[in-house]
Amino acid sequence: MARHFNQKLKLLTLQALLLERSDEEHPLTTEELRAALAERGIAAERKSLYDDMETLSRFGLDIHQRRGRGGGWFVGERLFQLPELKLLVDAVQSCKFITPDKSRALIRKLEGLSSVYQARQLQRQVYVTGRAKTMNESVYYTIDQLHTALSTGRQVSFRYFEYNVAKEKVFRRAGAHYRVSPYGLIWDSENYYLAGFDHDKGEIRHYRVDKMDGLTVLSQPREGEGTGRAFDAAAYGQKHFGMFGGREGQVRLRCEKSLVGVVLDRFGAESILIPDGEDHFTVTVPVVVSPQFLGWIFGLGTGVELTGPDWAVEAYRRQLEQVGERYR
């Protein structure tokens, strides 16, 4: 009876062995497969393994047999190829909003999608200048709940905090819960943000996901001006530099032609560039004028000139004067 039960596990065990222990560089011989099955109490005749391989192949597993010396059975095409897994591992390792522990757990799972030999190539360390991982362990699950709220059109509630110099949480609004109708998640400046309608403030705002605490999906349906239309998360994130707030407007920039790529990278290929003389062009773009936007202009030096509107030019002039005063 036990032998019959083990025989039912034979095909599943063979599939697991091939996925875990074989690849193009490391085929498994028939005798190696028989020995591995025997360790698990499963008897296998040589001829029956050929039938099993045919069955697994018809089921969809990409099995190959290399004949001759050094040959054997191996899995070719997988759900994820090794270069794809390397890309995913690099993304997880370098992602700021995922904690170190969660990064390691995710990478171990990704390693399970390859052979044990390929997994060694996935044990890599990606270093990104200035990168620091979040300290909020619950952010991974917060994002999942936000996706649930977005897909079901429901409000969410959470507390929002900052860190003090002692790395302790300090809650905003005296610890009161925020009530928000979520419109979309935005990835910007290496952080995840929720954009939505803040019911207490009566306007669209955004919040860093890793600074949310105790998020709950409420039973109330989503409300606010973004409920009845498609919310353009890309456009919202594009005009908020570093996701900082400020006065919004159509700003005019006069740029050197060498900065065409910089402007298109920042504002999109649909931006209208108007030639202005032999060496310059102008562009008008929707922007939230914040210190971060003005800092972006300053970082481009004399290559970019902010020409309008007047209130934006004046804001830039004031910031330059205030910073200059600090260094006199």
For residue 249, give the CATH number of its domain: 3.30.70
Q: Is 207 among the domain residues?
A: yes
Pair (224, 261) in one structural domain? no
Q: Is 93 among the domain residues?
A: yes
Report how far apart the first and last C-alpha atoms of the chain are (Å, whole number).
90
pLDDT greater than 60 at residue 128: no
Pair (67, 105) in one structural domain? no
Pair (108, 38) in one structural domain? no
Q: Is 129 among the domain residues?
A: no
Pair (61, 94) in one structural domain? no
Q: Is 200 helix (H, G, I), strand (E, B) or coil?
A: coil
Q: Is 46 among the domain residues?
A: yes
Instruction: Tell which residue, 248, 318, 262, 251, has the closest CA to residue 290.
Output: 248
Contact 215, 182 (CB under 8 A): no
Question: What distance in Å separates the CA atoms of residue 326 and residue 305, rounded to the nearest whole number?
Answer: 23
Element (H, E) at 247: strand 247-256
According to DSSP, the β-strands at 280-289 and 247-256 are antiparallel
Q: 245 falls in which pLDDT band (50, 70, 90)?
A: confident
The per-residue pLDDT for 199 is 92
pTM for the structure as a whole? 0.55
Q: 193 falls in which pLDDT band (50, 70, 90)?
A: confident
Question: What distance in Å separates the CA atoms of residue 269 and residue 266, rounded to the nearest whole number?
Answer: 9
pLDDT greater than 50 at residue 129: no
The per-residue pLDDT for 133 is 57
Question: What distance in Å separates the CA atoms of residue 201 and residue 203, rounded to the nearest whole number?
Answer: 6
CATH code, 216: 2.30.30
Pair (113, 192) in one structural domain? no
Question: What distance in Å separates the CA atoms of residue 159 and residue 174, rounded to the nearest whole number?
Answer: 9
Pair (215, 158) in one structural domain? yes
Instruction: Name the E strands within 139-246.
Output: 154-163, 169-171, 178-188, 191-198, 203-208, 212-221
The per-residue pLDDT for 65 is 92
Largest CA distance in the chain: 90
Average pLDDT over residues 270-291: 88
Q: 83 falls in which pLDDT band (50, 70, 90)?
A: confident
Instruction: Tell which residue, 237, 250, 231, 228, has the closest CA to residue 208.
Output: 237
Q: Is 127 among the domain residues?
A: no
Pair (28, 6) in one structural domain? yes
The per-residue pLDDT for 169 is 86
The sheet carrying 304-308 orders its strands as 274-276, 280-289, 247-256, 304-308
Question: What distance in Å separates the CA atoms of residue 252 and residue 317, rounded to the nearest whole number?
Answer: 15
Q: Is 132 among the domain residues?
A: no
Task: Report how many domains make up the chain.
Answer: 4
Pair (7, 51) in one structural domain? yes
Pair (205, 260) in one structural domain? no
The per-residue pLDDT for 1 is 43
The 10 Å Cβ neighbour count of residue 295 is 14
For residue 263, give its domain range.
241-326
Q: Is 102 among the domain residues?
A: yes
Sequence-distant (≥ 6) Cβ neighbours of residue 145 within 8 angstroms: 156, 215, 216, 217
Average pLDDT over residues 290-309: 89
Q: Is 113 among the domain residues?
A: yes
Pair (167, 203) in one structural domain? yes
Determine the Cα angle at 96 with ends 301 and 209, to 5°: 100
Residue 43 tokens, joined:
């008897």
